[in-house]
Amino acid sequence: MRTVRDAVFDILRRYELTTIFANPGSTEVPLLTGLPDDLRFVLGLHEGSVVGMATGWAIGRAAPALALLHTAAGLGNAVNAIATARENRVPLVVLVGQQDRRHLALEPFLAGRLTGLAGDYPVRADQPVRAQDVPGAVARAYHEAATSRGPALVVVPMDDWAAPFDGETVAAPVRLLRPAAVADADLAPLVELLGGARTPAIVSGAGVGSGWAALVALAERLGCPVYQESFGGRAGFPQDHPQYGGVLPGERGELRERLAPHDVVLAVGAPVFRQYSYAPGPLVPSGTVVALVTDDPDVAHRSPADLAYLASPEAVCARLADLVPPSGRGGAWSRAHGHSPYSGGPLRPTDVLRELAGRLPHDVALIEEAPSARPDLHALVPARTSFGFLSAAMGGLGFGLPAAVGLRMAQPHRPVVAVVGDGSALYGVQALWSAAHYRVGALFVVLANGRYAVMDGLAERHGGGKAPWPPFDEVDMGGLARSLGCPAVRVETYDDLTGTLDEVMPSLGTRETPLLLDVAVTVER
């Protein structure tokens, strides 16, 4: 007899969802026991790491990944990672186990009240009415995740897997195509706007994805600077290009000042415009016209733009590069770094980032989760490919370590480096066990200052007196890593730093074991 489980396995094979990231419990045992040899199981020791690794895998493969969670406990622990996947627009299929359907009405032990537990962050959440609806729900979740670029959830009671499936219908298409072409006539208003601009600018964002070539061609056609969106999850333009103008500030007054020279600003794959702390006033100076190209309906619908296109950024930029008349403008836009070289004393984050930048290979995937050091990283470590800067756009901690593990698993020959603060690392430290167990050769550079430095800075600027949270400088990140099976090296001096990087970096793309560098850094004010 063909079962629901058999039908779901066939769907996983069809859509190449054959790697299952999971931290299972009893409700997942009927699915996983006797797993076929062509399906790969990857254990994470915490559900945040499970979804984080799946997120990295999906980024690396540019396709949906599969995560399996254990009822309310698993889904609850994973909500922050699910929210991050949604904000980063990463497609995930998330299966959530549930107690036996036949006595759910009695709320047995481990029954989960799962409706709405992940909030509005899933692009779809489904609890199939019948066991026989599960295969169609999984197939639809794949399509929904790919179309909306986010996590799609399916709740599956544990007895559903053994239910018969012969003669049933899968309520989802076998193949779904998403044509991305844009008609020239539809682009005419934008062509006219850009063609008539005196001092245009482009703001690139994570939504550009891998379509850098089209955006570069458009930027060079316009001869204008290209700024990176603030707080984005991915670089949207080569940051070693002479027209790259740096990262936009995340405060309105500074944003208006930065954009003041420009009469037209085109946001590509970025919202208009992401901020952090609230400040009054408009986003852009009076008289500046804002246009937007995005394939994210939410961004298109909420952005205060004068002209918005809900379309593929790559397709639109490719056509605009042909349709917009050459401007004759040119030149380079300098970015002042203002970072002094190492001159003795304790290591600063800038010292670590400068030495790292000089040794990183061109094709590195760099994952960042060091909030207090992010501005310095942007200035010192330019992203030279679309993988050159990846971060948690949501802002919640716990992304860096597991995402690096999943990405390296997806692309085993790409050098992968995660630069994280010790406070951030503690939210996803369980992923180091998975890295060690599955021989994932990522490099984790932990900037260890023993405190939440970004929070301390915010408290000082707030002017409300001494912050109540203490430092945690007793935490031994290297010891934690080694206890999870991950090799670690303590770095305390400049010679330690340069010597270790010189030894490690040449083998970054071929190493088969992870390594954590526990780098003691001082807090810069």
Instruction: Provide the pLDDT confidence category of residue 464 given band limits of 50, 70 and 90.
Output: low
Angle (deg, nearest 10), helices 71-87 and 47-61: 40
Q: 3-class secondary structure for 39-58?
A: CEEEECCCHHHHHHHHHHHH
- Long-range contacts of residues 101-106, Cβ cutoff 8 Å, at least 24 apart: 101/131, 101/157, 101/159, 101/160, 102/159, 104/157
What per-residue confidence (pLDDT) applies to 94? Answer: 98
Task: Say yes or no to pLDDT of 463 above 80.
Answer: no
Q: Mean of the pLDDT values across residues 116-134?
A: 95
Chain-centroid distance, C-alpha 513? 23
What per-residue confidence (pLDDT) applies to 450? Answer: 81
Q: What is the per-residue pLDDT across 336-348, written as a single tens digit (0 to 9) for each?
A: 566 788 778 889 9
Task: Say yes or no to pLDDT of 33 above 60.
Answer: yes
Residue 195 burial (10 A CB sphere; 0-12, 13-18, 19+)? middle
Q: Which residues contact 179 (CB under 8 A, 6 or more apart)?
A: none
Q: How far apart are CA 49 and CA 508, in angstroms?
A: 23
Please state the φ and ψ torsions of residue 173, each to the nearest 5 degrees: -70, 150
Residue type, 79: V
Alpha-carbon torsion angle 200, 262, 388, 293, nearest 10:
-60
Structure tokens at 137: 């729900």
| Residues above pLDDT 90, as percent of the chain | 82
Q: What is the per-residue pLDDT across 367-424, written as a single tens digit (0 to 9) for each?
A: 999 998 999 999 999 999 999 999 999 889 999 999 999 999 999 999 999 999 999 9
Q: What is the per-residue pLDDT across 166-220, written as a single tens digit (0 to 9) for each?
A: 988 898 999 888 888 899 999 999 999 999 999 999 999 999 988 899 999 999 9
Mean pLDDT for all residues in the chain: 93
Q: What is the CB neighbour count within 10 angstroms for residue 514?
A: 31
Q: How far apart are CA 392 and CA 397, in angstroms?
A: 8
Q: Mean of the pLDDT values across residues 210-235?
A: 93
Q: How far apart are CA 316 and CA 13, in angstroms?
A: 33
The answer to whether 381 and 337 are in contact (CB under 8 A) is no
What per-residue confidence (pLDDT) applies to 23? Answer: 96
